[in-house]
Amino acid sequence: MSYSSGRGRGGRGRGGGRGEYYKNKYGSGGRSVSTGRGSSDGQEKSSSPTGGGSYHELQSLLQRLDGKSYPAYHDLDTPMDRGWVNSVGKYTLFVAKAQSDPFAPPTRCRIVVDASKAAIPKELYSNKVRSMALADFLLRRLHETCQKLGADDSLHGNGWSGPKGGDLQVLEPCQHVLEQSAVRIDEQGNVIAQFTVNLPARGRTILGRTAETIFGRTIPTIVERSLQYNSLTAIQLKQHVDMVEDQVWLQSQLEARNLVAFVRKGAILPRFSGADDRPMDKKSAVPFVFPKRLEVSFELPNAGKEVTGLGIPKGVTLICGGGFHGKSTLLATLEKGIYPKIPDDGREFCMTSKDACKIRAEDGRHVQAVDISNFINNLPGGKDTTCFCSMDASGSTSQAANIVEAIEYGSNALLIDEDTCATNFMVRDRMMTQLVAKEKEPITPLIEMIRSLYDHRGVSSVLVIGGTGDYFKVADNILVLDSYVCYDATERAKKIVAKNKSQYFETPTEAQFRSTTRSRIINGGAFVPNGNVKTVSKDLISYGAIDVDLRCLEQLVSKSQTTTIGYILQRIPSLAKGGKPFLDVIREINNAIDATGLDGVAPEHCMGGLSRPRSFEIAGTINRFRSHNSIYQDN
């Protein structure tokens, strides 16, 4: 079974929630019982939403609204405990708050399909992972159905006064299986789907008959075709759920097998293009081949068969080879291996430790109160590197900060590609040491610390290295990519080291890489937005007057994750009021999401455009927030 990316823009929404403790703790997040509403005469009024009733009443209402002023659409608004009931389809439609203008953000909606009608077998959502996989399958079917029906196409023509809107949008799934808020199934077996509808109009006049078609015909058809078990291919659905669970299970076994990653034999690693994450055509791609010495196998619980592939052991592993031979492609597979993949992605069962972090240099990065003294010391002017701050960090200082921060949050593996690193941070050869004395060089290069990171801190490293052989001496395993085929070059590289006796560096002792003793504190007041907050793209959040650049958080895979992070930032003023340890803030955020789903961070009802980010990307965003004294060290 294969999937492809669609064309619609992601809808908004969120799943219904549990966990009153977290709702009370974090507040209503902008929810209000009182909402601006319209009436059938087109006049604005303010009252609690009073919509809801039978589907026949909904259709009659839309007929009456035809030709009225646009704000009258607020008569569709429903409270979250009383919606528009479709007795035939056995689902209830909730409208969070109708848009007041054709050019406003689209209207957020929620559908709850009764368990008796959805009729999904309990075994398909018997645990959290299977429930996530089931929801992912239903989301893909929902998105596909919307496209096939043309429900995601909007009206257009004749400029401002012409018809507009009328499109239904649902979160666009990616190649990875993520916890998301667009579709989920609750413990009782009810299926909840959240999406947006751009309510149709001509100018600012309601097109009630068109809206009646959307709510009375299109949505019932979509529900029937995508959210009911008897309309789905049962074998395909079970295979999807089983495969996702098997991938997550394999990932959970890496630690016990002393591995940081696994790459399946025959996997298709290259992607269709730099802008398209689908697999390269199998006719052009070279299936993954690996050395026998590093072969490992896992007996998959659901598939009932063995999967064999390359096991990358803990420690220091180098990926070497000539340019364009597949080194960075393999590393890219590892960095995205933190998430399970959909069937036919090509990278199924290519799994990496869930706590692995991609590390790179980041010129110009904002760094706040980070102890980088293990790597950077004796700066001109005596600047303190045990509490380093910079609004414009260099390549080396930013890379040092990225490593220290990743370890602070609990990373057990660093993924590094020399192409995106600061050269002076990676290595310093003997001739340069003769020119610039060691005591005059503030940077202790990674090559001098990388063994200590593993031997004394348990942090493994996987590095793509093509320009220097100095790392051969510190590596446990050395792979070479030649025409996309992976070979074991460990023994050969060690012979090269023995043949070249030059001492390039001193191997550090345990004392040379020390743990920081002071915790970092988040100043909640620094995160109060001074304007609108908007997720511009997967890589950019506009936070009032501050742009938060996330391009170097390369393990984000969906804009919906960034949207979630944007909402999390808005929770920090209350969550870290008066200052709170960084790790405690991250822990509370995750506890809230665990307790209530993505409701733990969503600011309003029916937010269907959210996916869950990892703690590392949440923390990485907070660290890149350009505000003075947003983070400080505990004295």
Neighbouring CB atoms inside 10 A of 625's CB total: 19
* Distance (Å, whole) CA 397 – CA 371: 11
| Residue range 389-399: mean pLDDT, rounded | 97
| Residue 2 predicted with pLDDT over 60 | no
**Model confidence band, residue 502 (pLDDT cutoffs 50, 70, 90):** low
Q: Are 396 and 425 in contact (CB under 8 A)?
A: yes
3-state SS of 65-91?
Answer: HCCCEHHHHHHHCCCCCCCEEECCCCE
The per-residue pLDDT for 517 is 60
Token pair 């005059």 is at which residue? 440
The per-residue pLDDT for range 340-376, each reduced to its tens digit, is: 999 999 999 999 999 999 999 999 999 999 999 999 9
Strand partners, 83: none
In order of 7, 100, 208, the CA distances from 215 in angstroms are 22, 18, 10
- pLDDT band for position 439 (50/70/90)? confident
474 half-sphere exposure, CB direction, 13 A CA radius: 29
Q: Give the separation between CA 49 and CA 73, rounded to whole angstroms.
A: 12
Which residue matches tokens 């079974």? Answer: 1
Give domain limits for the chain. Answer: 32-232, 356-512, 520-633
Helix (H) or strand (E) holding 352: strand 351-352
DSSP state of 503: -
Q: Dihedral angle at the C-alpha atoms of 293, 299, 302, 308, nearest 10 degrees?
A: 20
Listed in sequence order, the residues at least 6 apart from 189 whose beta carbon sits closer than 8 Å to its beta carbon are 115, 118, 120, 122, 125
The region of weakest confidence among 42-56, 63-77, 261-275 is 42-56
**Cross-strand partners of 185:** 191
More confident residue, 79 or 45: 79
**Per residue in 207-237, pLDDT tens?**
999 999 999 999 999 999 999 999 999 999 9
Identify the residue whose tokens are 């938060």.
Answer: 548
Amino acid at 490: T
Is residue 507 over pLDDT 90? no
- Asked whether the beta carbons of 200 and 163 are under 8 A apart, the reply is yes
Report how far residue 114's alpha carbon sits from residue 206's, in angstroms, rounded to the nearest whole number: 31
Question: How far is the first Cα of the chain from the last one, in angstroms, to the nearest whole number?
Answer: 56
Confidence grade of residue 440 (pLDDT, cut at 50, 70, 90) = confident
The CA distance from 103 to 379, in Å, is: 53
C-alpha 358, offset from chain centre: 14
Cα 534–Cα 540–Cα 546 angle in degrees, nearest 5: 70
- Which residue's structure tokens are 């089983």? 242
Residue 249 buriedness (CB in 10 A; 0-12 / 13-18 / 19+): middle
Greater confidence (510 vs 134) lies with 134
Residue 544 has pLDDT above 50, yes or no: yes
The two three-digit tokens of residue 458, written as one number: 């348990």
User: Could you tell me the two tokens for 357?
Assistant: 């972090």
Helices (H), 427-474: 430-435, 446-457
More confident residue, 261 or 440: 261
> What sign has the CA pseudo-torsion 606, 609, 614, 615?
negative
Q: In 3-state terms, what secondary structure has residue 362?
A: coil
Question: Beta 44-47 vs 485-488: how paired, if at all?
Answer: unpaired
Question: Span 356-512: which CATH code?
Answer: 3.40.50
pLDDT, average across residues 479-506: 86
- What would the two tokens of residue 111 be? 């559908």
Pairing of strands 316-321, 477-482: parallel
The answer to whether 508 and 452 are in contact (CB under 8 A) is: yes
Has residue 390 got a pLDDT over 90? Answer: yes
